[in-house]
Amino acid sequence: MSSFLTIWLDYYEEDFHDPPEFPALTKLLNFTGQYLPGSVLDCRAVCYLWRFRNLHQAEFVGGDAAATDWPVSSIS
């Protein structure tokens, strides 16, 4: 089951990207937290949630460009 869910998360991440609540990813995290704490799947799900929240925050604050552009150093 863990392998199936890991493949699903890695190859079809758009199924889990539903801002602002991310319900499918939250349910997956509830499952992994209860039955697979500390597993690769649990760690990946946490990383995806962190990334999706940051993308959503960047889109909300600065538009689409802020979500895709790398930070530019201000060194002169």
Select the more confidently predicted residue: 64 or 38: 38
Q: How confident is the model at residue 56 (pLDDT cuts 50, 70, 90)?
A: confident
Q: Which amino acid is at 70?
A: W
pLDDT for residue 19 is more than 60: yes
pLDDT class of 63 with cuts at 50, 70, 90: low
Flag whether pLDDT at 69 surpasses 80.
no
Question: For the whole model, what pTM was predicted?
Answer: 0.72
Distance in angstroms between the alpha carbons of the first and the last residue of the chain: 52
pLDDT value at position 62? 63
- Which residues are CB-neighbours of 7 under 8 A, at least 6 positions away? none
